[in-house]
Amino acid sequence: MGMQDGNALAGPLSEVFAVDVTAAQRLCPGCGTDSAVGALHVYRMATAAVARCPVCGEIAFRIARHAGALWLDFGGGGALRIPVG
Amino acid sequence: MSRWTTARLVSRTKESDTARTLHLDAPGWPGHLAGQHVDLRLTADDGYQAVRSYSLSAPADGDRIAVSVQPAPYGEVSPYLVEDFPEGADIEVRGPLGGWFVWRPDRTEPVLLVAGGSGVAPLVAMLRARLALPEGPAFHLVYSLRGPQERWFGDTLDSLAGRTEIAVDYAYTREAPPGSARPVGRIQQAELLVDGFTPAQAPLCFVCGPTAFVEHCANALVALGHRPDRVRTERFG
Amino acid sequence: MAALTPGFRSRRRAPGDRLPPGQFLTEGFPVLSAGPTPAVATDRWRFTLTTETGDQHVWTWPQLTALPQADVTTDLHCVTRWSKFDTRWRGVSLDMLLDGVDTEARYAWVESYGGYTTNMPLADLRNGRAWIAHTYDGRPLPAEHGGPARLLVPHLYLWKSAKWVSGIRLRINDQQGFWESLGYHAYGDPWREQRTWGD
């Protein structure tokens, strides 16, 4: 499957965020690009995805949906395993 | 937070020889913005589940929502939705989703839409939302498709004939209708330079289609001078 | 329990002698990646084995391709549920590269150009079960499939066969790689359907 946009992660993100996160902005610590989450570049594998800066490719976050939990990793701090039905 | 709810298939309408629009009844639907999508979840009798995203192809209409589906060869979900999912049956739906690739009816700047194949679905939702307004900004759709038989939303697009502020150009890539002046082939950068929608007019640009198509057109728009943050993209992957 | 979708069936087929549980057979070769495809020129390519004590063994492209080559025909199993039979590869056995490397390590941490990582027991790289592969179906491995060279460990799910491989660190303790740290299985045996941590 080819690259997608951050838009495509609105569904899984909606499982744990009360607001739509794809409209949020992110300032890339790697290259200084300010971009909407919906405009990040997304690579998927099975039920996981990694979202990257559209300019420099630095990882913004990773997300995975496994049985009973949504995994969310913003890098460095270890993935959060959030119980979801 | 979005939850899975149940929607019922009311009817299917034909968009091309192979593609269909599914009209679903989703009780309690909260409404949506043009450009948003839904996730559909299917459950097989052995418990296997598949989730797919589909753009909503019509503006909000009470509890009624529409998604338009091109069956992928050997696909797991899309051929089922087009051919086998029975009318009257239920499917799980989550949405509306996404607040970035959307057009809000209170925006006043011109809107340039660039569609590749089935990527026309969310863009026609925007066009239809504009058509529902008595007045509003100028819209221009550039629609790239293989041939005339693969044109979706023919009734809506044909209704634009004679209008000046809302128009559509077709870019046929394999086969053009008789008498077409444009040679078949992929969209050239110059074709995206449309009077009234140049970078000087600072339009909102929405590009949707297969990944390579979106990459090509979004790069062309930025090369023409559009600000990158005003070129919004949705790649089907 | 979610409502059934009447008539919907997965593409999964009954597992058999060659098709692991939960998989379907494909003729294509889908491309999966966790980021942009890195451009790695063979004149700058290096493969580095680093032991737990920090000893490094480095191969350049001419050095790798001058080693005895193995031709491998094998089935691939991707955690995204496709399997592909009888894929043809050429490369260098890890046995060859590990020969003479002094190590007490039990685990391998695999690194790639572009930043990807994965992990597995070192034993799974030995005994003719893993290769640094540079040729697919008689042609140089395309970049989208991991060229110039990828790790090939076909008895594990394909995410373990790191594309654009740049090196392997031998470790006393296991450390989770890119997808493993996001819930995918530390071992990943397709026959035991070890997809995620809970499997």
Predicted confidence (pLDDT) per residue in A5-23, tens digit: 999 999 999 999 999 999 9
Nearest to B47 by CA among C2, C144, A76: C2
Mean pLDDT by 10 residues, chain B (237 residues): 89 97 97 97 92 95 97 92 97 96 97 98 98 96 97 97 94 94 95 97 97 96 96 92
Question: In whole angstroms, what is the distance from residue B215 CA to residue B227 CA?
Answer: 15
CA A67 to chain CA mean position, Å: 18
Q: Residue for token digits 């979900």?
A: B77
C: neighbours with 3+ CB pairs under 8 Å? A, B
A84, two tokens: 């979801």
Confidence of residue C1 (pLDDT cuts 50, 70, 90): low
What is the nearest CA distance from B100 to chain A, expressed in angstroms?
5
Amino acid at C194: Q
Residues C83-93, mean pLDDT to the nearest whole number: 97
Question: Which of A3, A4, A5 is the best mutation test for B, with the most CBs of B within 10 A?
Answer: A5
For residue C14, the chain B residue with the least C-alpha distance is B46
User: Are C182 and A46 an interchain contact pair (Cβ–Cβ within 8 Å)?
Assistant: no
- Tell how strand A41-45 and strand A4-5 pair up: antiparallel
Indicate whether C11 pLDDT > 90.
Answer: no
User: Are C33 and A73 an interchain contact pair (Cβ–Cβ within 8 Å)?
Assistant: no
φ, ψ for residue B201 (rounded to 5)?
-85, -5
Query: What percent of chain A is predicted at pLDDT more than 90?
Result: 91
pLDDT digit string, tens, across residues B149-206: 999 999 999 999 999 899 999 999 999 999 899 999 999 999 999 999 999 999 999 9
pLDDT digit string, tens, across residues C119-143: 999 999 999 999 999 999 999 999 9
What is the nearest CA distance from A78 to chain B, expressed in angstroms?
24
Indicate whether C103 pLDDT > 60.
Answer: yes
Domain range annotation of chain B: 5-97, 111-235
Question: In whole angstroms, what is the distance from residue B11 CA to residue C70 CA?
Answer: 57
Indicate whether C191 pLDDT > 60.
Answer: yes
The per-residue pLDDT for B217 is: 98
Listed as ranges, residues in chain A with pLDDT below 70 are: 1
What count of CB pairs under 8 Å joins A to C?
52
Which residue from B1, B99, B237 is facing A2, i.e. has the nearest CB? B237
For residue A47, the chain C residue with the least C-alpha distance is C80
Which residue from B53, B100, B234 is facing A11, i.e. has the nearest CB? B53
Pick the CATH number of B111-235 from 3.40.50.80, 3.20.20.70, 3.60.15.10, 1.25.40.390: 3.40.50.80
The per-residue pLDDT for A76 is: 79
User: Are A43 and C34 an interchain contact pair (Cβ–Cβ within 8 Å)?
Assistant: yes
The per-residue pLDDT for C9 is: 87
A25, two tokens: 């902005």
CA B176 to chain CA mean position, Å: 21
Q: CATH number of the domain at C43-192, please?
A: 3.90.420.10
Question: In whole angstroms, what is the distance from residue B72 CA to residue B66 CA?
Answer: 19
Residues C66-93, mean pLDDT to the nearest whole number: 97
For residue A38, the chain B residue with the least C-alpha distance is B100
Q: Quickly count: other Cβ atoms within 10 Å of residue C45's Cβ.
A: 19
Domain range annotation of chain C: 43-192
The per-residue pLDDT for B1 is: 57
Range of the domain at A48: 4-83
Give chain A's domain count.
1
Residues of B numbered 156-195 whose beta carbons fall under 8 angstroms of chain C's beta carbons: which are they? none
Question: In whole angstroms, what is the distance from residue C153 CA to residue B97 CA?
Answer: 39
B: neighbours with 3+ CB pairs under 8 Å? A, C
Confidence of residue C87 (pLDDT cuts 50, 70, 90): very high
The per-residue pLDDT for B60 is: 87
CATH class for the region spanning B5-97 = mainly beta
**Mean pLDDT for chain C?**
95
